[in-house]
Each structure stands twice: as structure tokens, then as C-alpha cells.
A and B are shown apart, each in its own frame.
Chain A
Amino acid sequence: MCETCGCNLTAGNLHIASKPRDDGTTVVEVLKDLMWDNNQQAAHNRGHLNSHKVFAINLMSSPGAGKTALLEATIEALGKDIRIGVIEGDLETENDAARIRSHGIPAVQITTGSACHLDAHLIHQALHALDLDSIDLLFIENVGNLVCPASFDLGQHRNVVLLSVTEGDDKPAKYPVMFRAADLVVLSKADLLSVLDDFDAAAAESALRALGRDTPVIQTAARRQSSLDSWLNWLRDALAAEYRERRRFRPVPRGIGLSPLRL
């Protein structure tokens, strides 16, 4: 693939890919991903985060599923042990960033205007507004929407999708692209399950399995710290796994080992 623009055209195959026809038209075979530009920026973001040892989670859900409340509860539980930062995506207002900042956590608000999703370019700008050397765990709270955010890689390391139990338990079947992208599905507001008779947690999990995914499903209730254990454990495990992975691929420092002359 071409390193400049990502297309499959090279000087060597251009004569095959471009076919002039008798009617004066030329057909150019391209085979290029339409998300190429966003994906390139996302890869850059991921490299940027890795170089600062930041682990990033893209938090997605429909509006009102409790993303900000879960973040606030997570900050309360882990804020003393892990240095957390947040990027907030909303169409308008600084409200969510203000909520996060009130906990003493750095937060950048992206207001997208009418755009229904965050993309890798917006995240790149936001990363430059944060002191990444003082952050271990970065949450990107995406715009509340179960459709559009699924198509845009931001450079995150994990996708977490919230499904609140006040929504339908068939949401995974209705939004397959979003739920297929999830590394973890969180059934939020689970303390309401006892008073709701129309949300079946097992049915939600079955709908997720029908998408060909064995993604873990956990329950949280952000207003009850005791119900956050499985979420906090998943976070700690994900962070530990990422650090293990990075150590495996850590470049060998210059002048140490490997050179036969030194052995």
C-alpha cells in the first residue's frame, strides 16, 4: 500500500490500475479504506499515548446512560492510586468537564457543535491540551450516540460500551456495529433492576453473543461504591495487561546485549 496516501496505486502498477477506454474515460482501481485518513490519525494518537505511557479508554453509550456518573465514581475509587485524565465530547456545554474538574481531575471539553461523534483529529487536538506525563489512565467520553462513534477509531486502547438498564435489553441487536466494537459491556444503573420488570440482563447478554462476541458483561451502579468492584477489577486488569504488553515490546536500550561483539 502507498505510504503517502494509503491507496493501492504505485508507479509499478499504475498502468494496470488505470485503464483508458475508447469513450475517453479512464477507470482507476483504488481499493482504499474510506476511513484511511481518520485511521492514520488514530494510529498517530495511539503512538503519542504510548510514548507518554497513557492507557486510553473510549467510553460510549446512548445519551443519559451514566457515562459521566461512572467516571465520577471511578475517580472517587481510584483517583488516589491512578492518575486519571478525561476528554469530554458533547455537542454543546462545558458541563461534563466541569463535573470532572470538580474532583480535581484534568478534563478537556470538546464541543462538536452538530457533529454526532468524536474523530481522531479532534482527539489529537485535545491530547495537546493535556499534560500527558501526569496521566496514567485517560477516559475519552464520547458523544452520547450508539451509531456514529462506532465508525471512528480515536487511538484508544479499549472500547467500553454502557447499556443502562432503563433502556431496552435488545440494544445489542439494534446496534450491532457499536456492540461488536466493545471490549467490555457495562450494564449501568443496575441498582434499578429490582424495580424494573422489562430489562432482562440475560437477554441483553444473549443479544451480544448473537453478534459473535464473547465480550465480558458486568453490572455497575455508580451511586453505590460497593457495586463497582467488577468494573474496577476489569480496569486494573486491563491496565496491567497493557503494561505487560508494552514491556514485552520495549526496545532494547542502546549498548546493552544482543551485539555478538559484546558477548
Chain B
Amino acid sequence: MHELAVCQALLDQVQAISAEHGDTAVTRITVSIGPLSGVVPELLQRAFYLARARGSAANAELLIEGAAVRIRCRSCGAESEAAPARLICAHCGDFHTDLLDGDQLVLMRVELIQAGANPANDSAGEWPCVKHADAI
């Protein structure tokens, strides 16, 4: 369960961005996680609600964008989608492929709120289910 360590790194980055903007409170954090990143979205989500307890992200929600695994064949040059444990060219069947997408672990954006504002999507205090970007 290294997701807690990844989550701590995420919150350190978010904290720094919040500080750059005058210690504004964070309402939403969006990350992009590929199936080959080694991080399980559900575990990161759970770790987040444990780790966010203090600081400017205490009431923030975490939005996880998934990503498809995409490869390019070194033999025929075709690009195709692939399953995480089967990175074989869908066109010619060669296994000599390069990963184009699917291993990312990236902080995409942070949403901050000015003091006194009252946005509609505030999820303060909730313990919500896993939210994937495509479900919102």
C-alpha cells in the first residue's frame, strides 16, 4: 500500500500551490492515473481521505481521471489500445512495442477558493465514494 506515500507527495505539491496563492483553501484536486502507473485509484482515494486531514486541502475532494493504455508498434508503426498485461500490437501481433500512454501519475489541476466564496461543488466533510472523472 504505497498509495499513502504517493498521496503524501500529492498533498505536499497541493500545499505548495495553495501557499503560492495566499494559503487559499483547496476545493478540488484532479489527478491522472494510468493503469500501468502502479497506483490503484481506489486505494489512492481512500488514502487521500486519511491524509488530507490537516492543511489547506482538509476539505478538498480528489478527482481521478483514468487513462487508456496506448502502444505503438516498432515493426509496423501502428498505434493501438492495449490491456495492461498484453502490450502486443493489435495489427501485426508483434510484441516490440513502445508505450505511448497509460503509465502516467500526474497532478493535473488544483481548484482553490477565495475566503468568503461559496461554490456549489463544495464537498466539505463528506466521506464520498470513489469519484472518477467520467462519472461526473
- B-binding residues in A (CB < 8 A): 5, 7, 9, 18, 23-38, 115-117, 119, 147-148, 150-152, 172-174, 176-177, 180, 207, 209-214
Contact B5–A119 (Cβ < 8 Å): yes
Q: Does A180 lie within 8 Å of B24, measured CB to CB?
A: no
Q: Evaluate contact between B109 and A29: CB separation under 8 angstroms.
A: yes
What is the interface of chain B, defined by CB distance below 8 A to chain A? 1-2, 5-6, 9-10, 12-13, 16-17, 20-21, 24, 27, 31, 36-39, 71, 84-88, 95-99, 103, 105-114, 116-120
Residue of A at shortest CB range from B44? A34
Contacts of A9 in B (CB 8 A): 20
**Chain B residue contacts of A116, Cβ below 8 A:** 1-2
Closest partner residue, chain A, to B36 (CB atom): A177
Q: Which residues of B contact A147 (CB under 8 A)?
A: 2, 38
Contact B116 A24 (CB under 8 A): yes
Closest A residue, CB atoms, query B74: A212
Nearest-neighbour CB distance to chain B for A171, whole angstroms, equals: 11
A24 to B112, CA, bound (A): 8
Q: Do the beta carbons of A24 and B109 come within 8 Å of each other?
A: no
- Chain A contact surface mostly: mixed
A177 touching B109 by the CB < 8 A rule?
no
Cβ of B114 to closest chain A Cβ, rounded Å: 5
Partner of A23, one of B37, B86, B119: B119
Query: Which of A148, A151, A207 contacts B37 (CB under 8 A)?
Result: A151
Residues of A within 8 Å of B97, CB to CB, are: 212
Given A26-B21, A30-B108: A176 and B96 within 8 A (CB)? no
- In the assembled complex, the Cα of A118 lies from the Cα of B12 at a distance in Å of 19
Expressed in whole angstroms, the Cα–Cα distance for A23 and B114 within the complex equals 9
Q: Which residues of A contact B6 (CB under 8 A)?
A: 34-35, 151
Q: How far is the CB of B81 from chain A (nearest CB, A)?
A: 13
Most buried by B among A38, A119, A174, A177: A177
* Between-chain CB contacts (< 8 Å), 18 pairs: A9-B20, A23-B120, A24-B114, A25-B114, A28-B17, A31-B106, A32-B13, A33-B105, A34-B13, A37-B9, A38-B9, A115-B2, A116-B1, A119-B5, A173-B85, A174-B85, A176-B36, A177-B38
Contact B111 A26 (CB under 8 A): yes
B96 touches A214 (CB 8 A): yes
Query: A89 to nearest B CB, angstroms?
Result: 13
The contact of A28 among B31, B84, B85, B109, by CB within 8 Å, is B109
- Given the complex of chains A and B, what is the CA–CA distance between A128 and B120 in angstroms? 51
Residues of chain B with a CB closer than 8 A to A148's CB: 1-2, 38
User: Closest residue of chain B to A114, judged by CB?
Assistant: B1
Interface contact A150-B38, CB-CB below 8 Å: yes
User: Which residues on B sit within 8 Å (CB–CB) of A18?
Assistant: 21
Residues of B within 8 A of A207 (CB): 85
The chain A residue sitting closest to B99, CB to CB, is: A212
List of B residues within 8 angstroms of A176 by Cβ: 36, 84-85, 87
Rounded to whole angstroms, the CA-CA distance of A205 and B40 in the bound complex is 26
Please give 7 more A-B residue pairs, beta carbons under 8 A apart, in addition to A24-B117, A33-B106, A37-B9: A23-B118, A23-B120, A26-B24, A34-B106, A147-B38, A148-B2, A176-B84
